[in-house]
């Protein structure tokens, strides 16, 4: 039972490069989220989706785009990577939005040099 | 952005001690409060989801209470064990869609 799977686990980018992080869940959850984790900060919401074909901005959306073309996948794109986007990125999914527990992926450690 | 405060920031207890942490939040427009346990090198795992004022939930030696009118939740661990060492996260929702996380309480339990 895979749960929430993030790809890749690690990545190093040069400033200005672009990349896409993939999140896949096999629990048929409607809600999916992208968070970033930085030292001394709580998990901060980047973007979220309440169902296939929908996306919405979270607390820190600038510099990121997302797509939810299929219910099971939620993609996070970095258009032009900046050192400030060095972080650990977590994807999560939930069946009932905030009434249900969130299931997290294992995280993606991204370094932008 | 909701201001979710957790205290203490870190805690070091001896095996067998009981301990508790606090999560404080704005009491207006409350929707749900979550507690997560986050072990090093792993992903956060849900402990409790609480929605009603006065809620009390328990899972083994861990329990939580909720006071939405005054804006706080307590997490209790009875008889702490080394395997309880982790960061405990509190998260608040006032929308039904997205959680606002606190910075967590880091617990270290030594034998």
d(C-alpha B63, C-alpha B65), whole Å? 7
**pLDDT over 90, % of chain A:** 88
- The span from the first CA to the last CA of chain A, in angstroms, equals 36
pLDDT digits (tens, 9 = 90+) for A16-56: 999 999 999 999 999 999 999 998 888 999 999 999 999 99
pLDDT band per the 50, 70, 90 thresholds, residue A1? low
Query: Does the CB of A39 have a partner CB in chain B at under 8 Å?
Result: no
3-state SS track over A37-91? ECCCCCCEEEEEECCCCCCEECCCCCCEEEECCCCCEEEEEECCCCHHHCEEEEE
Query: Does the CB of B71 have a partner CB in chain A at under 8 Å?
Result: no
Query: Does the CB of B101 have a partner CB in chain A at under 8 Å?
Result: yes
Q: Quick count: other Cβ atoms within 10 Å of Cβ A51?
A: 12
Chain A positions in Cβ-Cβ contact with residue B42 (cut-off 8 Å): 106
Q: What is the pLDDT of residue B1?
A: 65
Please give chain B's pLDDT, 111 residues, in tens. 678 999 999 999 999 999 999 999 988 878 899 999 999 989 999 999 999 999 999 999 999 999 999 999 999 999 999 999 999 999 998 776 788 899 999 999 999
Instruction: Give the angle B5-B6-B10 at the CA atoms, nearest 5°.
Output: 145
């Amino acid at each position: 039972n895979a749960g929430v799977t993030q790809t890749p686990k690690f990545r190093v980018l040069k400033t200005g490069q672009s990349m896409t992080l993939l999140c896949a869940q096999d629990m048929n959850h409607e809600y999916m989220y992208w968070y970033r984790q930085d030292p001394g900060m709580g998990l901060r919401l980047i973007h979220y989706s309440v169902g296939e074909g929908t996306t919405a901005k979270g607390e820190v959306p600038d510099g990121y785009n997302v797509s939810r073309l299929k219910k099971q996948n939620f993609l996070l794109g970095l258009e032009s990577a900046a050192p400030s986007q060095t972080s650990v990125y977590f994807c999560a999914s939930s069946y009932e939005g905030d009434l249900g527990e969130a299931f997290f992926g294992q995280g993606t450690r991204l370094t932008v040099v | 952005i909701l201001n979710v405060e957790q205290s203490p920031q870190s805690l070091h207890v001896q095996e067998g001690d009981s301990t508790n942490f606090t999560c404080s939040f704005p009491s207006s427009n409350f929707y749900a409060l979550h507690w997560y346990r986050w072990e090093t090198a792993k992903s956060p795992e849900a402990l409790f989801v609480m929605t009603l004022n006065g809620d009390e939930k328990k899972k083994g030696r861990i329990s939580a209470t909720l006071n939405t009118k005054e804006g706080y939740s307590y997490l209790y661990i009875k008889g702490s064990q080394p395997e309880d060492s982790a960061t405990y996260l509190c998260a608040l929702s006032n929308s039904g869609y997205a959680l606002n996380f606190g910075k967590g309480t880091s617990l270290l339990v030594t034998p």
